[in-house]
Each structure stands twice: as C-alpha cells, then as structure tokens.
Amino acid sequence: MKPNYYTCILSLVCLATGTNYAQSVTKTTHTIYLGEEKVWVDIYERSGADITLLNLHDNENTSAEAGRGFVESHGGRLIELRHGRGREVVVRLDGVLHRFDPNRMFSDVGLRASLEYFHNNTDEVFAIAAAFRDSVLDLFAVQEEMVVISLHNNTPDKMTINDFRPGEWYGEDTRGVSINPQQDPDNFFVVTQYELFNTLSSSGYNVALRAKYPPDRGMLIDYCERLGVLYVTVETEHGKLAEQDEMLEALWKILTEKGNGITYD
Ligand SMILES: [Zn+2]
C-alpha cells in the first residue's frame, strides 16, 4: 500500500520502554515513522541538571557519547535521533529515499529548502517530514527559560569557527565571533546570549554569537531563541570525545556560577 500523508500521521507510534541504566539514568525509546522509514528517538534522563541536550545528526556519535556522559554526571535529559542513515533523516516512499537535514526542519521555510537541496521537495514528502518534526517537538517539549545544548561533530576543516567570520559561509548568521588561534578551529561554541559569548570568549574558547535576525534556515538555534530558551551549540571534530567532554564541563561550570549574568537556576 502506498503510504500517504494521512496514514503517515495516523501511524505515528510511540513505543515507550523504560529500562534501568547505570547511575539511575533511564532510557525511553520512541518510534516515529516517515513513510516506510523508522526513526528511534532515545531519551536518557536522570534527575539533577535542568538541561536538555540534543543529538540531531545520527552519524555524530561522539556527541551522543558526550551527552550521555553529561547526563550521568550532572543529570538532565539527552534526546538522540537514531536511524542508521547517516547525517540526514529519510522519508521512504515505495522504497525511494527522500533526505532532509533535521537541523533545517524547525521552520516550514527551512524544511522546504532542505528538501529542495536534496531534490525531494514534493508536498507528500514535506507533509511527512513536517509531521516528523512536530512529533520530535512534542517529545522535546521546549519552553521558555529552558537550557538547551545541541551537540554536533564535524569533519576536520570542513566546518570550522572560521566559517562564522564576516563574508564567510555563516557570516550573515553571526553578530560576533571570537577565535583563539591556540584552539583547534573544528571545536567551537555557538550561542545566542551575549554574556555567555563574552564569558566563553574570555575563557579562551572559539565561540560565535548568533545574529538576532538571521536568514530563516529552519535551525534549532533560532527556534529556541524565539521561545526565550538559553541555547548553546557545542561542536567538535568527530572522535574528539575528551575535547567535547571538556567543553561541556566548562559550560556547566559557567552555567552554575552565580552572579555572571547568565541565567540558570
Ligand atoms: Zn551536526
């Protein structure tokens, strides 16, 4: 049977299985269908930090490991998308794969552009991808005053802090950039809050400050900013777990330090 928009929305199934994890971290897995394709959303939780971490790109496994480590150490919640298709999420219809970037799905404009980029922009594929986005947002349940940390990994020198300089790839998305030549350019933060930008910069990290009104690319960072969420990207090269752990620890220390003007209760 050919899946269509309506059957796909109706077939969104959540299978919740709670299992115990070391140090009382609980793991719950939800299954979301995109046509004939399945994506598993794993949620790791432990009481403690009031922070949500996300691993949107399935092939960025160092990020997932760093996120799990953070939840084990400090508590909080990690949301990890799994599907085995690599970086992009797939809508599968009649065996044909239609890709889109899950970090471009947080606005209709961004999602359409991402489907277009992969030559998949039909109304049917868009509707299924948008329903997937809405299901992820239901699980994410983002609200004002949350702290969200998005974890990413990159290929050496393919995307670096240098891409955030004026005139470069993300130049028009950015209102400030601080580059420490002593640091690996593949390892950097992206933030929405000026005070946090300053603190990370003076601590010697590579950091970019997101523009107030960047182009609508459907990115999670802008979705969170619109909702009044304190948002941070922590990005390192693939495989650099120690570096990503260290950056997360430094961020945790800053977030929990009183009196620096950075909001975290
Ligand atoms: Zn990524």
Q: Which domains, and CATH codes, for the chain?
A: 5-256 (3.40.630)
Report whether pLDDT(17) > 50.
no
Residues in the chain: 265
Report whether pLDDT(124) > 90.
yes
What are the angstrom distances between the C-alpha of 33 and each of 41, 91, 105, 117, 124? 11, 8, 16, 22, 14
Tokens of 158: 């393919």
Helix (H, G, I), strand (E, B) or coil at 55: strand
How far is the centre of ligand 1, averaged over its atoms, from the C-alpha of 133 (Å)? 16
Tokens of 55: 């691993």
Instruction: Name the one residue in this structure whose structure tokens are 């670096």.
Output: 160
Beta strands in the chain (DSSP E): 19-20, 26-34, 37-46, 51-55, 76-82, 89-93, 96-100, 147-154, 174-178, 188-191, 207-210, 230-237
How far is the centre of ligand 1, averaged over its atoms, from the C-alpha of 77 (Å)? 18
How far is the centre of ligand 1, averaged over its atoms, from the C-alpha of 138 (Å)? 21
How far is the centre of ligand 1, averaged over its atoms, from the C-alpha of 227 (Å)? 21
CB-based contacts of 256, cutoff 8 Å, min separation 6: 264
Give the pLDDT of residue 264.
61
Give the pLDDT of residue 144.
84
Calculate helix-pair angle for 123-140, 108-117, nearest 10 degrees.
130
Give the pLDDT of residue 23.
59
> What CA–CA distance (Å, rounded) separates 204 from 182?
9
How far is the centre of ligand 1, averaged over its atoms, from the C-alpha of 233 (Å)? 10
Report whether pLDDT(16) > 50.
no
Report whether pLDDT(5) > 60.
no
How far is the centre of ligand 1, averaged over its atoms, from the C-alpha of 42 (Å)? 17
State pTM to two decimals: 0.88
How far is the centre of ligand 1, averaged over its atoms, from the C-alpha of 7 (Å)? 30
How far is the centre of ligand 1, averaged over its atoms, from the C-alpha of 223 (Å)? 16
Of 200 and 146, which is predicted with more confidence? 200
How far is the centre of ligand 1, averaged over its atoms, from the C-alpha of 190 (Å)? 12
State the pLDDT confidence band at 120, using cuts at 50, 70 and 90: confident
> What CA–CA distance (Å, rounded) separates 182 from 198?
18
How far is the centre of ligand 1, averaged over its atoms, from the C-alpha of 191 (Å)? 15
User: CB-based burial of residue 160 (10 Å sphere; 0-12 exposed, 13-18 middle, 19+ buried)?
Assistant: buried
Of 19 and 154, which is predicted with more confidence? 154
How far is the centre of ligand 1, averaged over its atoms, from the C-alpha of 220 (Å)? 11
Instruction: Name the one residue in this structure whose structure tokens are 């997932």.
Output: 64
Pick from 18, 22, 47: nearest CA to 30: 18
How far is the centre of ligand 1, averaged over its atoms, from the C-alpha of 219 (Å)? 11
Report whether pLDDT(178) > 60.
yes
